Structure 1
Amino acid sequence: MFRRQLLRQSRTISESVTAVSRVRQSPFHSATFISPRPATSPYLSSRLGRRWQSTESENNSGEQPAASTQETKPVDAKEDPVKQELEKYKKEVVDLKDKYLRAVADYRNLQDRTKREMESARQFALQRFATDLLDSVDNLDRALSSVPQSAPGESAGAGESNKDLVNLISGLKMTEEILMNTLKKHGLERYDPLEGGGRKFDPNTDEATFFTKVEGKEDGEIFFTQSKGYKLNGRILRAAKVGVVKNS
């Protein structure tokens, strides 16, 4: 009885050992355990791949403009100072040109003004001297005007006694003529409003000393010259003093 039990146990042990050895010799014994994954179809995997590639390309295409703008910004930043400097120089050139033209115009105006002043100074340098000389010329003219128009010898009686007087009057006339010609060379001229038959009163050239009624003459007409007038290079040095008709 006891032997039978031992025999059974030994058989059981041998069978278990044989089973273990078979399991070790099996090709599936060394395989590692892989966690089960959900099975995906090839069509779904290809769509997922394409979608991933398309989103990546979109991301890349979206990033390129940003990169380009980032690249152009430094270029613009470099060009702006150059343009600003160029505009600054252009404004300076325009400003300097304007100042140059103004300076040239001022210089030419100064030349013209200086030339006119020099010419005026040359023409009217004798103004004060001529003004002081007018009284002497007037006295000489009055002295000759007091002599009768007829020959001095005839009025006083012909004779050797009046010869000196005739020579004196002739000498005074020659002196006056030479003096007036000399003054005329320097621009000083004498005028008489009654020369040429008379004329109307002109306040620009005449000075009315008195008014009176005169028959046969119109109002404002000059009928008497008290003192002759003088011009220096066309400018009135002294107005003629005259008497004017006023009948009304």
Structure 2
Amino acid sequence: MFRRALLQQSRLSLRSSVPRVTSTAPRFAATSARPAIPQLQSAAGRIRCYSTEKKADIKEEDVATEGKPATEPLKKEEEELKKITQELDALQKEVDTKDKEIKEYKDKFQRAVAEYHNLQSRAEREQKKAREYAIQKFAKDLVDSVDNLDRALQAVPEESRSNAERNKELVDLYNGLKMTEDILLNTMKKHGLEKINPLGEPFDPNVHEATFQVHMPDKEPNTVFHVQQTGFTLNGRTIRAAKVGVVSQPPK
């Protein structure tokens, strides 16, 4: 568009600078047109200078106008990008903080659950033990009755028991006491209370209490050869150790 306007302006300037030649003086046409040639050449030179100056001005203006809109949006975009990066950094820090809090809460929750399960299992074990050993005090008191029955049975000599016709009343009493003891022991066994009579068994300090030791060549050392008092266990727990005599090691 600018080039067209420039060409039109140069044409108009040429037309205005060229003198008109009339047809009424043909003789002087050639002579009058000669001095106009230098004028045409000078006008063309001015047009060329004018066009080059305009082109230089146009280029400078284009560079100036092109530079301004190019730098300003870049600065705005850089500022916006900087703000966005700052916001992202702040959000990332917040996310990291939340992740750390989540890990801490998760760790606390897992520990709380583990402690709850441990407490629950401990409570179940204690309840089981309470059920199993709730009669422990009663069993210890009942053991004395069993000891009295044993003493009563041992008080009847074997000779009197063998002669049932002569000692019928005594044999009947012995048999009654024996039946009572058997029923009592079976009832106690149903509830986990068992009698310990370790005669001839190896000595076990967990359930036996050695009251004396004797060297016996015909028996193995550390063997129970005499039961002074029977023991009792309640669901595998010793509530009374058996008092026994143990065979000692041979003298060196």
Determine if the TM-score, normalized by the shorter chain, exceeds 0.5.
Answer: yes
Q: Which has the larger radius of gyration?
A: 1
Letter in 2 for 1:175: T
> What CA distance in whole angstroms lies between the structure 2 residues aligned with 1:211 and 1:121?
38
Give how far 1:125 is off. 0.7
Query: Which structure 2 residues correspond to residues 74-153 of structure 1 after superposition, within 5 A?
Result: 74-149=83-158, 152=161
2:240 is the alignment partner of 1:222: no
Alignment of 1:22-101 (within 5 A): 65-101=74-110
Residue deviations 1:221-247 (CA, integer Å, cap 9, x gap): 211111111110011111111111123
SS at match of 2:201: coil
Alignment partner of 1:181 out of 163, 177, 186: 186
Post-superposition offset of 1:151: 5.6
Distance in 2 (CA, whole Å) between partners of 1:147 and 1:65 is 120
Deviation at 1:64, TM superposition (A): 6.0
The amino acid that maps onto 2:231 is G
**Secondary structure at 1:236's aligned position in 2?**
strand
User: Is 1:213 matched with 2:223?
Assistant: no
Residue of structure 1 aligned with 2:165, choices 158, 162, 168: 158
Asked whether the 8 Å contact 1:153–1:163 carries over to 2, the reply is no
What are the superposed Cα offsets for residues 136-163 of structure 1, whole Å, 9 maximum, x if unpaired? 2112112212323456261xx733xx32
Q: Could you give the per-residue CA deviations for residues 99-136 of structure 1, whole angstroms, max 9, x where no partner exists?
A: 33333322222221111111100100111111122222
Distance in 2 of aligned mates of 1:81 and 1:100: 28
3-state DSSP of counterpart to 2:177: helix
Q: Percent identity?
A: 45
Q: Distance in 1 between matches of 2:71 and 2:116?
A: 67
1:200 Cα shift? 1.9
Unaligned runs of 5+ in 2: 1-48
Unaligned runs of 5+ residues in structure 1 are: 1-39
Aligned residues: 202
CA contact (8 A) 1:152 1:165 kept: yes
Give the AA of the match of 2:165: A
Cα distance in 1 for residues equivalent to 2:135 and 2:145: 15
State how 1:165-204 maps to structure 2 within 5 Å: 165-194=170-199, 198-204=200-206
The residue type paired with residue 178 of structure 1 is: I
- Name the SS of the counterpart of 2:102 in structure 1: helix
